[in-house]
Amino acid sequence: MSPVSSGVGVGQIVGRRPTLHHVVPTIEFPGARRPDREYSIDANGVRIALHEWGDAAAPPLMMTHGGFDFARTFDAFAPRFADAGWRVVAWDHRGHGDSEHTHLYSWDADVRDASLVFEHVGGRRPLTMIGHSKGGAISLNLADAQPFRFRKLVNIDGMPSRRPIPDVAEHERTKMLAGEITEWLDHRAGTATAERRPGTIDGLAERRGKLNPRLGKAWLRYLVTVGAFERDDGWRWKLDPSIRPGGFGPWRPEWSLMRMAGIGVPFYGLLVEHTEPLGWGTTVDEIEAYLPDGGRVELVNDVGHFAHIEQPDEIAGRIMDFLGAPA
Amino acid sequence: MSTTRLVHNRVELALHTLRAIDGPNLLLLHGLGESAPADVPDFAAEWPGPVHALDFTGHGASTVPSGGGYTAEMLMADADIALGHVGPTTIVGRGLGAYIALLIAGARAHVVRGAVLADGPGISGGPTSPTSQPVITAETVSTTPDPFAIIELGRDLRPPDYATTFVRLANEGSDLPDPFVVTARFRPKWLRAVVDEPGVRQAGSIAEALAVYRP
Task: Classify A132 as helix, strand or coil.
Answer: strand
Q: How large a percentage of chain A has pLDDT more than 70? A: 90
- Asked if residue A93 and residue A69 are part of one domain, the reply reads yes
Residue A213 lies in a domain: yes
Last residue of a domain, one of A180, A203, A237: A237
Q: How far is CA A317 from the centre of its chain?
A: 20
Q: What is residue A213's predicted lDDT score, i.e. its pLDDT?
A: 93
Tell me if A259 is assigned to some domain.
yes
Residue A85, by phi and psi: left (phi above 0), alpha (psi -120 to 50) or beta?
left
Axis-axis angle for helices A170-190, B96-107 (nearest 10): 110
- Look up residue A229 and give its amino acid: F
Please state whether beta strands A150-156 and A127-132 pair in parallel, antiparallel, or not at all (unpaired).
Answer: parallel
Q: A173-201, pLDDT tens digit by residue?
A: 677 788 999 999 999 999 988 999 999 99
Same domain, residue pair A138 and A205? no
For residue A7, tell me if it sits in a domain: no
Q: Are residues A137 and A281 in the same domain?
A: yes
More confident site: B117 or A246: B117
Q: CA nearest A251 in B: which residue?
A: B157
**Beta bridge mates, A199:** A235
A169 touching B, CB under 8 A? no
Q: Which helix (H) or strand (E) holds A184?
A: helix A170-190
| More reliable by pLDDT, B151 or B129 | B151
Q: Using one digit for the tens of pLDDT, what is the confidence trace for A221-270?
A: 999 999 999 999 999 999 999 998 877 888 887 788 888 999 999 999 99
Please give the average per-residue pLDDT across A83-92, as a whole number: 98
Contact B48, B24 (CB under 8 A): yes
Instruction: List the single range of A56-60, A170-174, B12-16, B31-35 with lowest mean pLDDT.
Output: A170-174
Is A22 a residue whose pLDDT tops 50?
A: no
Of all residues in chain A, the one with the smallest CA distance to B135 is A112
Residue A235 to residue B50: CA distance in whole angstroms: 47
Query: Can you give the three-state secondary structure of B65-117, one letter per residue?
Result: CCCCCCCHHHHHHHHHHHHHHHCCEEEEEECHHHHHHHHHHHHCCCCEEEEEE
Residue A324's identity, in one-letter code, is: G
| pLDDT value of position A170 | 65
Collect all residues with Cβ–Cβ distance below 8 Å to A23 and sequence separation of at least 6. Answer: none
Say if residues B91 and B105 touch (Cβ distance below 8 Å): yes
Is residue B138 very low, low, confident or very high in pLDDT (cuts 50, 70, 90)?
Answer: confident
Q: For residue A20, what pLDDT band results from cuts at 50, 70 and 90?
A: very low
Is A3 part of a structural domain of the chain? Answer: no
pLDDT for residue B129: 73
Same domain, A32 and A121: yes
Same domain, A30 and A117: yes
Say which CATH superfamily domain B2-213 falls into.
Answer: Alpha/Beta hydrolase fold, catalytic domain (3.40.50.1820)
pLDDT, tens digit, for every residue of B145-199?
999 999 999 999 899 999 999 999 999 999 999 999 999 999 999 999 999 999 9
Asked whether the predicted pLDDT for residue A33 surpasses 50, the reply is: yes
- Which pLDDT value is given to residue A151? 98
Domain residues for the domain of A69 are 13-162+252-323
Q: What is the mean pLDDT of chain A?
A: 90
**Are β-strands A234-237 and A228-231 bridged in parallel, bridged antiparallel, or unpaired?**
antiparallel
Verify whether the Cβ–Cβ distance A106 to B136 is below 8 Å.
Answer: no
Q: How far A30 CA sits from the closest chain B CA (Å)?
A: 38
What confidence score (pLDDT) does residue B132 get?
74
How many domains would you assign to chain A? 2
Are the C-beta atoms of A85 and A58 separated by less than 8 Å? yes
Q: Are residues A110 and A94 in the same domain?
A: yes
A239 neighbors A293 (Cβ within 8 angstroms): no
Task: Say yes or no: A31 and A131 in one domain.
Answer: yes
Residues A216 and A262 in one domain: no
Residue A245 counted as domain residue: no
- Does ipTM surpass 0.85 in this model? yes
Q: Is B149 on the interface with A (CB under 8 A)?
A: no
What is the number of alpha carbons within 13 Å of residue B211 lying toward its C-beta?
8
Q: What does the pLDDT average to over B33-40?
A: 98
pLDDT 10s digits, A231-242: 999 999 999 999
Same domain, A300 and A197: no
Distances (CA, A) of A125 to A39, A141, A188, A324, B8: 21, 18, 40, 18, 40
Q: Does B199 touch chain A (CB under 8 A)?
A: no
> Do A153 and A260 belong to one domain?
yes
Structure confidence at residue A255 (pLDDT): 81
**Chain B residues within 8 A of A255 when measuring between CB atoms:** 129-130
